[in-house]
Amino acid sequence: MKSSKDIWVFGDYRNYFQNRVTLQILARAVDLATSTGGKVCAIVFGHNVNEYVAEYIAHGAQKVYVMDDPRLLLYSLETYSKLLTRLAKKYQPETILVGATRFGQEMAPRVAKQLKTGLTADCIDLEINEKGLLIQIAPSFGGNLIAKIITPVQRPQMATVRPGTFQELPHDYNASGKTMIEPLPDDLPEDRIRLITSEHRPSKKQKIEDADIVICGGRGMGSKGKFKKLFDLADLMNAEVGATRPVVYSEWISHHALVGQAGKNIKPKILMSFGISGAIQHTAALTDADFIIAINKNPNAIMMKMADVAIVADANQACLGIIKALKEKIRD
Amino acid sequence: MLNIIVCIKQVPMVSELPWDSKTGTLKRELAEGMMDPASRRALEAALQIKENQGAHICAVTMGPAMAQEILHQAKALGADVGVLLTDKRMAGADTFLTSHILARFIQREYENFDLVLCGSQTSDSETAQVGPQLAEELNIPAIGYVSQIRAKENSVEAQRHVDDFFEILNMDLPGLITIDLSAYKPRYLALEGVEKAFENPDIRIIDAKKLGLDDSFNALKDSPTRIIDVFSPTTQNENRVLKGAVKKVVDQLFDEYGKVIGSAMGKDLKTHEHDEV
Ligand SMILES: Cc1cc2nc3c(=O)[nH]c(=O)nc-3n(C[C@H](O)[C@H](O)[C@H](O)COP(=O)(O)OP(=O)(O)OC[C@H]3O[C@@H](n4cnc5c(N)ncnc54)[C@H](O)[C@@H]3O)c2cc1C
Ligand SMILES: Nc1ncnc2c1ncn2[C@@H]1O[C@H](COP(=O)(O)O)[C@@H](O)[C@H]1O
């Protein structure tokens, strides 16, 4: 059977309103569909989900496939992945995009396996090439390279995308979309996993994500002791401290400070980056920083090329120098 | 007694490498393989189950011959069996085929397994796909990002904190669990333990043929995804480069950008009175 040209986006609303990844992916799907010609569709499983259906339509979905049933009230990995697989077999979408929440990261691989197709994790961008194939752009080979990946034969083409990668479209109150109510199959197998307790424990929003000034330190800070100086600087500047993965792995700072694909996205007015090389997994999280000051002794580090101001210097000495200068300059 | 299979992977040590702070370079000669940190935690979880209630642990890895090292390590730590799945034709497998190969091994050699443990994600590719796909292929339930396991007779109880939900789940066995990087801090392995393990390695080595894979099987060719281009992210930002003595560049920074910095701080910074250089 020939596949349709539609692009599907899995509707992950469990933490809506905070988690906006579905809306973000819809926005990019709208973009992609202008060159492929297919429809942008959202998939919604759950019970009493009209609110989300409306939300997805207002954010770009032209069609929403809905399964609404009390048995779908809880997010169940086994059930949801079976249902998505069945729908995909029935309607043959060209592409399925899933938000890389923990749930999405567990579900997408299972669906891809059932559909015998490929899946690219954590795309930082998605494009359509001249043949209409989905180009899945993702970091690879440890961080300094980006790969363009395709799924040449199997369908659908599948990818996951981390929250914060794309920008959602504004809410369109006039948007209209088609809602397709899908019946729940009656041969749903019994779940082999039972939820005993579930408690909503929102992680405290890290200040670093909202901070106007972020000071990031990398391995170039040299040691845990020297890294500490960044906290003094942060105190003076009313800033938050972030770090790269080697720094977190070396336990110079807790993993809550990790900035990058595996950690937090930041959007400060000013980012000061000390002794960081600029691997893509780190810089992917910096795209919304307004003004970047990088300090590195290697003028050719990618972080230095990205920066608005690149200071070629020893990171520790520069940190101490800036602290000293600020102490003199801050008016009492 | 539980029959546990732990999937472990060897990863390059580059990003966590001992590093020369004088020259700012990596000590490449030490860039050897190590056990993926998440796999190491999965193994730790298995070892704790074994200590508490008894278990048979098989540590399996798919990789090049060199990956045997992590199997020695796993055995020194307490795994009962080490298995290396290795073949030229397995090279280049994406997660779809990696999980296929691991599943093949388990189905053929450990038909009556109870529990498969994986890391939540590897440090080198971090797809977090192999665990879920392995479970799918074995047609067993799986719980990801688990921070604590309590194994019972025919089920396990798992605890995790994901997507802002703290959950306790009960899963039928056989099943698969992936262990979160924050949990099961691995134990220290004394050097003599490693040496002992190397004296009597006794690792089973299985190739594509022995696994019963088709003669035409070729992971690189058969993977559903294909890399068509690799590039390095180049950013040609028009930028201001400051270099020279630290005092000088810091002064320059505040001369030129003091306003921007001050406004982000919400403070008025004194303008600089020039020093004689
Ligand atoms: C799957 C995966 C996911 C990842 N996720 C993340 C993530 O979320 N976040 C993240 O940060 N990383 C992540 N990484 C790691 C990433 O690829 C890089 O390894 C890491 O960002 C590098 O950190 P760094 O810049 O501190 O260290 P390095 O790359 O070692 O760079 C150190 C820099 O300091 C400079 N330097 C050295 N000495 C001095 C000195 N005295 N003064 C000034 N400069 C100096 C050097 O010139 C160099 O540029 C991930 C990797 C993988 C494989
Ligand atoms: N080649 C491999 N051999 C054995 N186990 C693997 C292999 N690749 C991945 N795994 C397991 O799957 C987990 C997640 O890997 P990944 O999906 O690559 O992030 C790892 O922590 C391992 O437990």
> CB of B249 within 8 Å of any CB in chain A?
yes
| pLDDT more than 90, % of chain B | 69
pLDDT at residue number B123: 83
Closest partner residue to B231 among A146, A153, A331, by Cβ? A146
Greater model confidence, B143 or B272 = B143
CA-based torsion, A88, A94, A100, A101: positive or negative:
negative
pLDDT at residue number B188: 81
- Parallel, antiparallel, or unpaired for β A134-140 and A125-128? antiparallel
CA B181 to ligand 2 center in whole angstroms: 13
Please say if the pLDDT value at position B189 is more than 90.
no
- CA B102 to CA B130: how far, in whole Å? 9
Nearest CA in chain B to A204: B164
Residue type at A206?
Q
B168: chain A residues, CB-CB within 8 Å: 195-198
Q: What is the pTM of this model?
A: 0.87
Mean pLDDT of chain B: 88
Q: Do residue A210 and residue A305 come from a single domain?
A: yes
User: Are residues B162 and A326, on separate chains, in Cβ contact within 8 Å?
Assistant: no
| Reported ipTM | 0.86
B270: chain A residues, CB-CB within 8 Å: 328-331
Cα separation values, B241 from A37, A294, A297, Å: 46, 10, 12
- CA A160 to CA B190: how far, in whole Å? 41
Residue type at B169?
L
Q: Do residue A130 and residue A237 come from a single domain?
A: no
Closest ligand 1 atom to residue A217 Cα is 26
- CA A274 to CA A295: how far, in whole Å? 5
Q: Is residue A299 within 6 Å of ligand 1 at its C-beta? A: no
pLDDT at residue number B273: 55
- Domains: count for chain A: 2
Closest ligand 2 atom to residue B7 Cα is 5
Residue type at B154?
N
- Parallel, antiparallel, or unpaired for β A157-161 and A95-99? parallel
Residue type at A127?
E
A141: chain B residues, CB-CB within 8 Å: 230
The DSSP code sequence of A181-250 is E-PPPTTPPPPSEEEEEEEE-PPPPPHHHH-SEEEEE-GGG-SHHHHTHHHHHHHHHT-EEEE-HHHHHT
Residues with CB under 6 A from ligand 2: B 7-9, 36, 38-39, 42, 61-63, 95, 98, 102, 118-119, 121-122, 125-131
What is the residue with the minimal CA distance to atom 12 of ligand 2? B130
Residue type at A220?
G
What is the residue with the minimal CA distance to atom 13 of ligand 2? B119
Nearest CA in chain B to A268: B264
Contact of B161 with B21, CB cutoff 8 Å: no
Closest ligand 1 atom to residue A143 Cα is 17
Here the CATH number for the domain that contains residue A85 is: 3.40.50.620
pLDDT at residue number B200: 66
User: Which of A181, A197, A231 is a domain's end point?
Assistant: A181
- DSSP-assigned letter for residue A77: H
User: Are residues B169 and A196, on separate chains, in Cβ contact within 8 Å?
Assistant: yes
A152: chain B residues, CB-CB within 8 Å: 226
pLDDT at residue number A90: 96
3-state secondary structure of B71: helix
**Alpha helix locations (H) across A5-131?**
21-36, 50-58, 77-91, 102-114
Identify the domain containing residue A71 by its residue range.
7-181
Q: Do residue A81 and residue A125 come from a single domain?
A: yes
CA A247 to ligand 1 center in whole angstroms: 8
pLDDT at residue number A222: 92
Closest partner residue to B166 among A119, A201, A239, by Cβ? A201
Measured in whole angstroms, the distance separating CA B187 from the mean position of its chain's CA atoms is 17
| A79/chain B closest Cα distance in angstroms | 11
Q: Do residue A210 and residue A169 come from a single domain?
A: no
CA-based torsion, A228, A233, A237, A242: positive or negative:
negative
pLDDT at residue number B28: 47
CA B16 to ligand 1 center in whole angstroms: 9
Q: Which parts of chain A have pLDDT scores under 50?
A: 1
Q: Do residue A176 and residue A273 come from a single domain?
A: no
Residue type at A23?
L
Q: Do residue A214 and residue A155 come from a single domain?
A: no
> CB of B246 within 8 Å of any CB in chain A?
yes
Please say if the pLDDT value at position B277 is more than 50.
no
Best B250, B263, B270 residue to mutate vs chain A (most A CBs within 10 Å): B250
A151: chain B residues, CB-CB within 8 Å: 224-226
Note whether residue A244 is domain-resident: yes
Q: How many CA atoms lie within 13 A of B276 on its CB side?
A: 0
Q: Do residue A119 and residue A251 come from a single domain?
A: no
B263: chain A residues, CB-CB within 8 Å: 269
Closest ligand 1 atom to residue A276 Cα is 25
| A176/chain B closest Cα distance in angstroms | 30
Please say if the pLDDT value at position B197 is more than 80.
no
Contact of A7 with A33, CB cutoff 8 Å: yes
Greater model confidence, B88 or B269 = B88
B137: chain A residues, CB-CB within 8 Å: 113
User: Are residues A193 and B257, on separate chains, in Cβ contact within 8 Å?
Assistant: no
Note whether residue A196 is domain-resident: no
Q: Which CATH class is domain B2-222?
A: alpha beta
Instruction: Give residue A308's region: left, alpha or beta (phi > 0; psi -120 to 50).
Output: alpha
Q: Which residues contact B154 (CB under 8 A, 6 or more apart)?
A: B172, B173
Contact of A273 with A295, CB cutoff 8 Å: yes
Residues B152-178 have pLDDT tens digits of 888 999 999 999 899 999 999 999 999
User: Are residues A311 and B249, on separate chains, in Cβ contact within 8 Å?
Assistant: yes
- CA A198 to CA B134: how far, in whole Å? 26
Rounded to the nearest 10 degrees, the angle between the axes of helix B95-109 and helix B130-138 is: 40
Domains in chain B: boundaries: 2-222, 246-276
Residues A295-323 have pLDDT tens digits of 999 999 999 999 999 999 999 999 999 99
pLDDT at residue number B191: 65
**Quick one: tokens of A174?**
């006039």
Note whether residue A217 is domain-resident: yes
Binding-face residues of B in 115-174 toward A, CB within 8 A = 124-129, 131-133, 135-137, 140-145, 157, 161-172
Greater model confidence, A34 or B200 = A34
Contact of A43 with A8, CB cutoff 8 Å: yes
Q: Do residue A58 and residue A120 come from a single domain?
A: yes
Q: Which ligand is nearest to the CA of A259?
A: 1
pLDDT at residue number A15: 86
- CA B22 to CA A313: how far, in whole Å? 14
Please say if the pLDDT value at position B234 is more than 80.
no
Note whether residue A198 is domain-resident: no
